[in-house]
Amino acid sequence: MRLILASASPRRLDLLKQIGVTPDAVDPADIDETPRKDEPPARYAARVAAEKGAAVAERHPGALILSGDTIVAAGRRILPKAETVQDARMCLELLSGRRHRVLSAVTLIAPDGKARHRLSESIVTFKRLHPDEIDAYIASGEWEGKAGGYAIQGRAAGLIRTIQGSHPGIMGLPLYEVRTLLLAVGYPCD
């Protein structure tokens, strides 16, 4: 069974390899990721993961397609993927000293076209951030392209008091859910 990873994220590829799975090809989806008006965070993440998979499935008939989407939600608010210093600062000030959710959705489309979905939810608590800590984090550049303006796999780990949930999910691919989906379609994982 050919497995296609529908993602431009090198982290997703590395995470997949962590459980011994190497896709036959990587083919990123290029879709509009704008949230709909009042779209709840979990529904948004699930929709985007499904849309990424569907877009890529069209190009690979008969293959297995794995896609994902990871977002940071503060209450009902979906934080942006930080592209500018201003984005990153806004996110970090909002996340400072409080809990937020990281929602990581995955979709697996089987060769027969049937799509299976899983959602991983994690709770992350940042310490109260001193302005100097925010400045130093921004200077690191690690926030660039990251949902919610931080990456737990880097120096932000030193600013996070607790996590509850899935560490790989927070990084971009919830590996327990992925393995469960792959096994459900008969893809060998062990």
Ligand X SMILES: Cc1cn([C@H]2C[C@H](O)[C@@H](COP(=O)(O)OP(=O)(O)OP(=O)(O)O)O2)c(=O)[nH]c1=O
Indicate which residues carry an active-site annotation. Answer: 69
Among 4, 21, 69, 159, binds ligand X (CB under 6 A): 69
CA 76 vs. chain centroid, Å, equals 17
* Residue span 130-169 as binding mask against ligand X, x where in contact by CB under 6 A, dash where not: ----------------xxx-xxxx----------------
State how far the Cα of 103 lies from the Cα of 75, in Å rounded to an integer: 12
- Cβ neighbours around 146 below 10 Å, total: 26
What's the min distance (Å) between Cβ of 183 and ligand X? 22
DSSP 3-state of 116: strand
Residue nearest to ligand X (CB): 7
Among 41, 53, 168, 172, binds ligand X (CB under 6 A): 172
State the DSSP code for 81.
B
Looking at this protein, which amino acid is placed at residue 184? A
Phi, psi of 94 (to 5 degrees): -70, -35
**Phi-psi sector, 119: left (phi>0), alpha (psi -120 to 50), beta:** beta
What's the min distance (Å) between Cβ of 170 and ligand X? 5
**Residue 74 contacts ligand X per CB under 6 A:** no
Count Cα neighbours of 155 within 13 Å in the Cβ-side half-sphere: 11
Which CB, 9 or 140, lies closer to ligand X?
Answer: 9
Positions in 29-68 near ligand X (CB under 6 A): 68
Q: Answer yes or no: are the C-beta atoms of 142 and 171 closer than 8 Å.
A: no
Number of residues that bind ligand X (CB under 6 A): 22
What's the min distance (Å) between Cβ of 31 and ligand X? 8
What's the min distance (Å) between Cβ of 190 and ligand X? 25
Positions in 102-131 near ligand X (CB under 6 A): 102
**Residue 174 contacts ligand X per CB under 6 A:** no
CA-wise closest residue to 69 among 28, 110, 100, 99: 28
User: Would you tell me which residues interact with ligand X (CB under 6 A)?
Assistant: 7-9, 11-12, 28, 68-70, 72, 81, 102, 146-148, 150-153, 170-172
